[in-house]
Amino acid sequence: MIKVCSLFSGSSGNCIYISYNDTALLIDAGVSGRRIEKALSDIGESFDKIAGIFITHEHSDHISGAGVLSRRYQLPVYANAPTWKAIGSSIGKIKSDKICEINPGEEICIGDMGINSFLIPHDAACPVGYNIFIKDKKISIATDIGHMDAELLSKLENSDMVLLESNHDTEMLKCGRYPWPLKQRILGEKGHLCNDMAGKVVAHLATKGTKQFLLGHLSQENNFPELAYETVSNALLEKQINPLKDVYLEVALRDRVSKVLCV
Rounded to whole angstroms, how far apart are CA atoms 8 and 184?
26
Torsion angles phi and psi, residue 195, rounded to 5: -60, -45
- pLDDT number for residue 75: 98
For residue 114, the cross-strand partners are: 109, 133
- Residues 194/241, Cβ–Cβ less than 8 Å: no
Binned at pLDDT 50, 70 and 90, residue 251 comes out as very high
Question: What is the residue-averaged pLDDT of the chain?
Answer: 96
Among the listed residues 10, 89, 30, 58, the one whose alpha carbon sits nearest the alpha carbon of residue 254: 10
Non-local CB neighbours of 18 within 8 Å, separated by 6+ positions? 2, 3, 4, 24, 25, 26, 27, 113, 132, 139
Rounded to whole angstroms, how far apart are CA atoms 131 and 255?
25
- pLDDT number for residue 11: 87
**Angle ∠(207,212,214) on CA atoms, nearest 5:** 115
- Residues 206/241, Cβ–Cβ less than 8 Å: yes
pLDDT of 142-169, one tens digit each? 999 999 999 999 999 999 999 999 999 9
**Is the dihedral angle over the CA atoms 180, 181, 184, 186 positive or is it negative?**
negative
Binned at pLDDT 50, 70 and 90, residue 200 comes out as very high
The arithmetic mean of pLDDT across residues 199-206, rounded, is 98
Rounded to whole angstroms, how far apart are CA atoms 137 and 159?
7
Rounded to whole angstroms, how far apart are CA atoms 171 and 254?
21
Q: Judging by beta carbons within 10 Å of its beta carbon (0-12, 13-18, 19+), is residue 185 exposed, middle or buried? A: middle
The DSSP result for 90-112, as a single string, is TT----GGGEEE--TT-EEEETT
Q: At residue 185, does pLDDT exceed 90?
A: yes
- Residues 56/31, Cβ–Cβ less than 8 Å: no
Rounded to whole angstroms, how far apart are CA atoms 183 and 259?
32
| Highest CATH level, class, for 2-262 | alpha beta
Q: pLDDT above 90 covers what percent of the chain? A: 98
Rounded to whole angstroms, how far apart are CA atoms 99 and 84?
9
The arithmetic mean of pLDDT across residues 45-52, rounded, is 96
The arithmetic mean of pLDDT across residues 118-130, rounded, is 97
Give the start-to-end residue ranges of the domains of the chain.
2-262
Q: How far is CA 134 from CA 19, 88, 140, in A?
A: 10, 32, 11
pTM: predicted TM-score of the whole model, two decimal places:
0.96
pLDDT of 60-93, one tens digit each? 999 999 999 999 999 999 999 999 999 999 999 9
For residue 73, the cross-strand partners are: none
Rounded to whole angstroms, how far apart are CA atoms 211 and 107?
24
Q: At residue 16, does pLDDT exceed 90?
A: yes
- pLDDT number for residue 237: 98
